[in-house]
Chains A and B, each alone.
Chain A
Amino acid sequence: MTATSTSPTMTVAPAAPTVTSRIWNVARMNMANPFLTLVMPWLITAAIFLLNLAIMLMVIRAAGGRENLDPTAFSYNGGISWILFFMTVVAVQTMNLTFRFALGFSVTRRDFYLGSALYFVMLSLIFGTGIAVLAGVERATGGWGIDAAFFAPDGLAEQPLIVLWALYVMALLMFLFLGALAATVWVRWKAYGLYGLIIGLAVLLVAAGWMITASDSWGAIGEYLTGSPILEVWAWTLPVTVSCAVAGALILRRATPQA
């Protein structure tokens, strides 16, 4: 028998899955149990929001009415930012455990990374959209009837909803791919890799500080950050996100699923 013939007892293999179906399969592998990443964040967000609301109502009651408080009393709130850190953890879990699981299911590293990146983009869109919609409700109800700002706190309050949506999506993408990068470094080089990554990032930050100080441009930067359209400033997260995504892909390409 020649090397190309198949033995008669073996049935012919089904056609190999296409690259798009392989990538989609990885994306939905990440969502096989949707509770933790697609349901729970809303429950926690609801809990944080309702607790905040309860505190505000308590304050109003103590003050003897909303009108006795400063109009901006409930405008400062960072509660929603918890979701960024949650997503960082989601990305870390994906690149660590789900990576090892996927390789055990005969997935290539490339398909795994692309499928997981697709999943991260989907998460960012889902949560970015959800928060923007809630911000819309917040506005439509006059800040839940008490001039409160939770989903679009001070600094974002004046932005159109579509801008708000873009900001949340960009922020979620950055935190997800930062987490992914850190986790791929861990999977590939374990603790020493993480030390290196943290020291490397610290060196970058200090070097940037030096350069800004040496060129006497802190003022210009401050002006840029406060004076430019917020969307333009936040768009600077995109090169960071893309760099993390590319670095993560390169690092994972040679990673092995060792326990």
Chain B
Amino acid sequence: MTAIIEASGLTKRFGKVAAVDDVSFALEDGAIHGLLGRNGAGKTTLMQLLTGQDFATRGTARVFGESPVENAGVLSRICFIKESQAYPDNFKGKHVLKTAPWFFPRWDQDFADTLVEDFGAPLDRPMKKLSRGQRSAIGVIVGLASRAELTFFDEPYAGLDAVARRRFYDHLLADYAEHPRTIVLSTHLIDEAANLLQRVLVIDEGRLVIDADADDLRASATTLAGKATDVEAFAVGREVLDRSRLGGLASITVTGLNEQDRLAAASAGLEASAVSLQELIVRRTGGAEAGEGKVV
């Protein structure tokens, strides 16, 4: 596999605020990746830098090996669906779908028609009159049917209900299986999307705080529960991400357990359970260590 996206020292400042701060990573092609983080963490700005919509203050972004800025060759292979997408004043859904094939060379009209029906997207009403969910549906349809080699979905399902989101995931997976490509999915509904993701990037206050394989990340932390004394004894000398205590019982989340550690924990009467991706990320980005390593 080759890197489809490479960012190196990528930085975008708006005045004194660094929306994206010295971010470096590489993403492989032919996979679904997650770009996760809290609202305002810099996810959208990062994707705008990667799609040439914004200009980096410092650092470089390479997509398909080239700078995406004003690069028609690169951009024609990219589709970027974002919640804040603007539409011409007089555009209805049908005009959006009419223009899309002119710009996305791999557009599949039959697939688009299926999606329109499946999401119940209203095509004959002005875009500006649609609800958030209806606008999202149109965006999702364009993002899927464009079949771009590299597709960014930035919070693609804002305003969509659980059923519609489920449909989005199903279509995404099914179509991805038939037409492999690279998808970067940005979302704060981490657990919903977690099992789709191969690599996970987490950004917090503009900085890349996690860049890991999703499986490695899940394996990187374990929650252990048991009698408080046993739990505390086990915790000695380990990195504890989280601990809680209820009467005589306690639970801790620790990092880096190997097979031996697991056996030791089991024999100490502790019950081990996997930590969800969402929990892990919440702890790393919003939890106790706040204030550490942040540059304004």
Question: Does the CB pair A105–B100 fall under 8 Å?
Answer: yes
| Chain A binding surface, main DSSP class | loop
CA gap between A28 and B51 in the complex, in Å = 23
Question: Does the CB pair A1–B2 fall under 8 Å?
Answer: yes
Which one, A6-14, A122-130, A211-219, A224-232, is touching chain B? Answer: A6-14
Say whether B82 faces chain A, with CB atoms less than 8 Å apart. yes
Q: Do A33 and B90 contact each other (CB < 8 Å), given the known contacts A9-B180, A17-B105, A104-B82?
A: yes
Q: Do A14 and B105 contact each other (CB < 8 Å), given the known contacts A19-B72, A98-B88, A104-B86?
A: yes
In the bound complex, residues from chain A placing their C-beta under 8 Å from that of B90 are: 33, 35-36
Say whether B73 faces chain A, with CB atoms less than 8 Å apart. yes
Question: Does the CB pair A9–B30 fall under 8 Å?
Answer: yes
Chain B interface extent, by class? 35 or more
Say whether A93 faces chain B, with CB atoms less than 8 Å apart. yes
Most central of B73, B87, B88, B180 by chain A CB within 10 Å: B88
Question: Does the CB pair A97–B87 fall under 8 Å?
Answer: yes
Q: Do A22 and B72 contact each other (CB < 8 Å), given the known contacts A14-B105, A32-B98, A106-B78?
A: yes
For A11-30 the 0/1 string (1 means CB < 8 A from B) is 10111110100100100111
Question: Does the CB pair A101–B88 fall under 8 Å?
Answer: yes
Say whether A77 faces chain B, with CB atoms less than 8 Å apart. no
Which one, A66-74, A108-116, A141-149, is touching chain B? Answer: A108-116
Say whether B21 faces chain A, with CB atoms less than 8 Å apart. no
Say whether B218 faces chain A, with CB atoms less than 8 Å apart. no
Q: Do A29 and B99 contact each other (CB < 8 Å), given the known contacts A13-B106, A17-B76, A110-B70?
A: yes
Question: Does the CB pair A25–B103 fall under 8 Å?
Answer: yes
CA gap between A10 and B29 in the complex, in Å = 9
CA gap between A14 and B105 in the complex, in Å = 6
Say whether A59 faces chain B, with CB atoms less than 8 Å apart. no
CA gap between A7 and B150 in the complex, in Å = 14
Q: Closest A-chain residue to B51, C-beta based?
A: A106
Say whether B79 faces chain A, with CB atoms less than 8 Å apart. yes
* Residue in contact with A29 in the complex, picked from B53, B92, B102, B104, CB distance below 8 Å: B102
Say whether A254 faces chain B, with CB atoms less than 8 Å apart. yes
In the bound complex, residues from chain B placing their C-beta under 8 Å from that of A108 are: 52, 70-72, 75
Interface residues of B (CB under 8 A from A): 1-2, 29-30, 48, 51-55, 65, 70-73, 75-82, 84-92, 95, 98-100, 102-106, 148-149, 179-181
- 19 sample A-B contacts, Cβ–Cβ < 8 Å, listed by A number: A1-B1, A3-B2, A7-B1, A14-B105, A15-B105, A16-B105, A17-B72, A17-B76, A36-B89, A93-B88, A97-B86, A101-B87, A104-B53, A104-B85, A106-B76, A108-B52, A108-B75, A111-B72, A256-B54
Q: Nearest 4 pairs between A and B by C-beta? A: A100-B86, A14-B105, A25-B102, A106-B75
Known: A253-B70, A259-B86. 4 other contacts (CB 8 A): A7-B2, A105-B99, A105-B103, A106-B76
